[in-house]
């Protein structure tokens, strides 16, 4: 294969991976992060939320024990639940992703609540989140900031 063809192939794979919303986190890991994003800041607030799906390709369950990022000093795992006809939100200490299964963090379900955002988060920025798991080393994921207008219209429920 000549040098030009090889470079063209490498560049095309690089562009595909850059533009994809699917992130395979570490090659030796069996965790796939799909469609991650953080909601852009709403003026006057220091709270936002983040969403993604976490797929566990391992046979054993995986436990997410926490999340951190340099842009906030407090990120919690939360869950919306319906109780007595009312939607309630509560913090959960950990999130179990069963073996060969996935958990979707989405509006009105499991999600990440981000408190004390240090500066306004603007659309098109990228942030790093560190996912802390009980069974393995931390995983760092780079995710985009999106305006609420950029979210899927079918999922347009405000947090």
- Set out the domains of the chain in order of their start, with CATH numbers: 3-151 (2.60.40.1890)
Q: Which strand (E) or helix (H) includes residue 6?
A: helix 3-19
Q: Which residues, including other chains, have CB under 8 Å from residue 130's CB and lie 6 or more apart?
A: 67, 68, 69, 138, 139, 140, 141
pTM: 0.76
Q: Over 90: is that where the pLDDT of 71 sits?
A: yes
Per-residue pLDDT at 27: 39
What are the distances in angstroms from CA 40 to CA 50, 119, 143? 10, 11, 12
- How large is the C-alpha radius of gyration of the chain? 17
């Amino acid at each position: 294969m000549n040098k030009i063809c090889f470079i063209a192939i490498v560049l095309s794979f690089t562009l595909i991976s850059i533009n994809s919303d699917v992130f395979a986190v570490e090659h030796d890991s069996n965790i796939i992060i799909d469609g991650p994003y953080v909601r852009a800041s709403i003026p006057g607030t220091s709270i936002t939320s983040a969403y993604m799906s976490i797929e566990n390709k391992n046979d054993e369950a995986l436990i997410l024990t926490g999340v951190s990022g340099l842009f906030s000093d407090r990120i919690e795992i939360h869950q919306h639940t319906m109780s007595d006809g009312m939607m309630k939100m509560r913090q959960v200490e950990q999130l179990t992703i069963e073996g060969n299964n996935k958990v979707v963090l989405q509006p009105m379900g499991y999600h990440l609540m981000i408190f004390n955002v240090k500066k306004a988060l603007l659309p098109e920025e990228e942030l790093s989140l560190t996912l802390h798991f009980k069974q393995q080393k931390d995983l760092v994921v780079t995710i985009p900031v999106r305006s609420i207008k950029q979210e899927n219209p079918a999922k347009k429920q405000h947090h």
